[in-house]
Structures are given as structure tokens and as C-alpha cells.
Structure 1
């Protein structure tokens, strides 16, 4: 377990950034929330890279990473978007916020079960969706942001292939047709 300690600590830093981002939104410190989510993204990139370099990839690490990603990229940005613009839409804004978070949870569950070894992502990765959500909430009107948020949720659960930057060599044909 000692060689797994560093990737685990990086994953926990990702999780802590997500929790702190939610707290910052509650305290009306939007810029700090965005910084926390951005730092979570850095920790998310580093934990996987470190685990691969240390040959410390494990089922525990994969599950911990996804649980952390749910908070940092599924819940925190949704709450942030709600606070910035979706709240202006009343109950519709609440529903869209929940819809986005459900999309993130479904995307991460599918990733863990069937596609973590594929050379491409199936569906928009949750960290990328979080970046898109923050950008739309920051720059768009409430209704355009709502539309964008729904589109991001759909893209996460879609079967569209997105580039994967890990250097994993796997025979994709054995996964062909897996949804």
C-alpha cells in the first residue's frame, strides 16, 4: 500500500477541493469556488498519472477517484451554476442542476464498469463537462446556460467518442458494441 499512498492523497485533495468549492459557493465566494474546482482538476490529472507511473493502479483507487469526481465535477459545478444563473429559473433551475449531476453520476458509473481501459472516452468526460458548465454559467444568460447544462448532461451519457490521452493499448474491437 505505501506506493499507493501518493495517488490516494492526490485523489483526496481532489475531493477536498470539491467540498471546499461547495462551501465557497455557500459563502458567496464564487471566484474561490472556481479556483477550488480548477485545483481539483489538477489533482485529478496528477492522481491517475502518478498511479500509472508508480504502478499503483487499483480498483480502490479507481472507485475513490470516481467518488471524488462526483463531488468536484458533478455536484460542485452544478451548485455553482445554480448560484450564478440557474437560480433565476426557479424550480426549473433546480431540476436542471439535478439533471446535470445525475448525468455526471451515470457517466462515472459507466466509465468504471465498461470503459476505463478503452483508448477513447465514450461520452464527455465529467471534468470537461464541469469546465463547460462553469463557462456557460459565467458567460451565458440563464436560459442559454440552462440549455447548455442540459446539453452537457446529455453529452456525458451519450455514446459519442471523445479523444483519450492515456497511452493504454487495448484491443478496442473486444469492446465494440458495448454501451
Structure 2
């Protein structure tokens, strides 16, 4: 039973890898579907860990690796595939900046913030969803500006509510039953 949350997290990671694979074959819709499926799995892994009393350092690290792939690398590659490719140097720079800021965000969270009631900087799953949605503007300049803005927000000192913890608390207390 203690492995169930880690298996859900690995499912999130697999979704990120499949999203990237889909982009290699120019299947944008499948990539988006895999990213959103990864988001659902990301919502449930922590909840399952708390319910099964299986919270662990290993699970926290796995979650960060999965989130980097599913909400960092895959959305940036999606943005590049749909529009940023038309801005050769700037497009690559935006993709790299977004992914690096996502990696920094996750590292900072694991070291300093995992016990705080709010997020300091935009959580990478939220940034990833925003980048996926921005990608459907198909406008390279707007997408480049959006990717850079999201990159900044991930590493900023701006506080964001901790929706996942509040949702888990409400579900566990029976307020959503």
C-alpha cells in the first residue's frame, strides 16, 4: 500500500514523457491530453500518500522529478512546437528559461517551502497549465512574453495560495463528500 502514491507519481512522470514523445511526432492534441492527465495524477499522489500514511522523502523527490518533466519540459516543448519555433533564437531561449526556472522553483520548494501554508513563487503545475493554454494563441511574440512572465513568476517572491493542501484538507475532513 505504501507504494501506491509513488506509482501515481510515476504515472505523472510517464505522462510527461508521453507528452514529449507525442510532440516528436507532431501530435499536439495527444501531448496536451498527457499533460492534463499528468496534472490529475499530480493532484492525487499527495492525497493518496496522506490517506495511506505513506508520505516520504522519496515520494517528495519523485514528485519533483515528475513535475519537472510534465509541467516544465513538456509544456515548454509544446510552446516551441506550436509557435516559438518561428523565433529561432528567442524561442529556444524562452524554452530554456522556462524549464530552468521550473527546475529552480522545484528545488527551492523542496529545500525551503514544503511546510509553508502558501507557495512562494508560482507552482510549476499551475505555470505549466498556463503555458499550455497560452500555446493555443499560436502567436509567437505573445507566447514568448508569456513564457518569460511565467518563468519570472515561478522564481519570484510572490505568494500563491496552496490550493492542493486546502483541497486535500477539505476532502479528508469530509467537507467535499
* TM-score between both structures, scaled by the size of structure 2: 0.92
| Map of 1:118 onto structure 2 | 116
Q: Whole-Å Cα distance in 2 between the matches of residues 103 and 79 of structure 1?
A: 15
Shift of 1:140: 4.8
1:65 matched to 2:86? The reply is no
Aligned pairs (5 A) from 1:93-172: 93-165=91-163, 166-167=165-166
Shift of 1:22: 0.1
Q: Whole-Å Cα distance in 2 between the matches of residues 47 and 34 of structure 1?
A: 20
Q: Whole-Å Cα distance in 2 between the matches of residues 93 and 121 of structure 1?
A: 28
| Map of 1:26 onto structure 2 | 24
In the alignment of these two chains, the number of paired residues is: 167
CA deviations 1:104-154 (Å, max 9, x no partner) are 000000010010110001100000001110111112511011001000000
| Map of 1:49 onto structure 2 | 47
Moved over 4 A (4+): none
Of 72, 75, 85, which aligns to 1:74?
72
Instruction: Please report the RMSD computed on the Cα atoms of aligned residues, expressed in angstroms.
Output: 1.3
Structure 2 gaps of 5+ residues are 170-177
Q: Whole-Å Cα distance in 1 between the matches of residues 153 and 39 of structure 2?
A: 19
Q: Whole-Å Cα distance in 1 between the matches of residues 142 and 72 of structure 2?
A: 19
Shift of 1:91: 1.2
